[in-house]
Amino acid sequence: MGKEEMTKEELLEKSKEPAKKAMKWHPFYKGKIEVSPKVQIESLDDFGVWYTPGVAKPCEDIDENPEMVYEHTNKWNNVAVVSDGSRVLGLGDIGPEAGMPVMEGKGLLFKYLGGVDAFPICLNAHDPDEIIQAVKWIAPSFGGINLEDIATPKCFEVLERLREELDIPVWHDDQQGTAAITLAGIINGLKVVGKKLDQVEVGLIGAGAANLCLARTLLEAGVPEENLYLCDSTGLLHPKREDLDEESTPEKWKFAQKTNKEQKEGGVPELIEGKDVVVAASAPGPDTIKKEWLKGMNDDGILFAEANPIPEIYPWDAKDAGVRIVGTGRSDFPNQVNNSIGFPGIFRGTLDVRATTISDEMHIEAAYAIAEVAEENGLDEESLVPTMENTEVYIRQAVRVGLKAIEQGLARRELSEEELRDRAEKTIKASKRKTKNMMDSGDIKKAPDVDLS
């Protein structure tokens, strides 16, 4: 029975299956990633090459020319997934230990989908200065830093300062990653309904890290300032909001000055009214967004309800309210608008050219690559973006991102389009092949069955 043939009750029950499996499979495997050798070891003599005494020569070479660390070590492919556990999924401030399953999962996606070696670094630190210092201390071992699930507003300071103070790319996936995949979904959603990016009215529910970066991205991609509206828990952002100021809430204040030109007031219902596109990155649902509010959207409306683990409103309820296209962050619903479609490929391209940062132009380039691959596969109301099974989307992003970094003068090494594609394709396919080989051999055991009744 397909999703389109299932009742709402059956869809709701099916949506609970991942959580049930997670509680059985996580303790079975006791972690999702591990470190494995990548060199041949044919005899004990080889350890004299990989470790002492032979290893001294590469050390000396790096000492003389620090850039050689990218040739002699795995720094070129290492990414730290850094979190303080202060805003994990939709669960809030649950701490570094409770955030570990998410960061390990991130590492799994990095490796399997992008061929990137990513390590969970969960910090027992909440002060921005402490987080920044900790990342700077460990940075020599990594070719990139992925900040994850750090609460607003400190995430802005942490990202900005680390981007300024480190010479490796620092990326906040809740900001740039969410913006990239959401922009891709909007681009293709508008193609399906026959509307233009520079003509639609867009409302963003939630003014945290994700939607503030998305707002900046949408403006850079062509949405006029006068067509963009943001709403936080207090209400619509506008210049007369006395609780917003340049010192204490600089990001919100900035958008309050240049969006919502009509200075509309109110809350979520007022924001939704008359919009062509609504993106929610707010409190998990269900029913954070009410069906009756969505009836005020324009015809052929597009809604992305991105809260995890439960979207602000279930897709079938949004459809009942008249919304034509609905996306969520979940893989078990149509139109998964999820960062996992973006960050593995974006980092692949970034690492392959040894970029010093990930610019907004780079993640916008990735968004168009995602949209192109989906369009080539055939667009419809439930297939706006590719699924994680689509290897080409990661390869395409890697190429486009790498080329954009080179164009912007942000790359340490220049590769041709053909070289970038060959490198990304080989690395990503090798990662998937190794995983399959370990499954076939039994080194990765089959997960136990789970009673879903």
For 260, the token pair is: 């919502």
Q: CA 50 → CA 36, 46, 154, distances in Å?
A: 14, 6, 41
Whose tokens are 């958008």? That residue is 255
Q: Which of 75, 106, 154, 404 is catalytic?
A: 106
Q: 429-436: list long-range contacts, CB under 8 Å, 24+ apart.
A: 429/391, 430/115, 431/111, 431/112, 431/114, 431/115, 432/112, 432/391, 435/112
106 annotated active-site:
yes
Alpha-carbon distance 85 to 126, whole Å?
Answer: 9
For 453, the token pair is: 């009744």
Q: Which of 16, 51, 57, 429 is catalytic?
A: 51
Active site residues: 51, 106
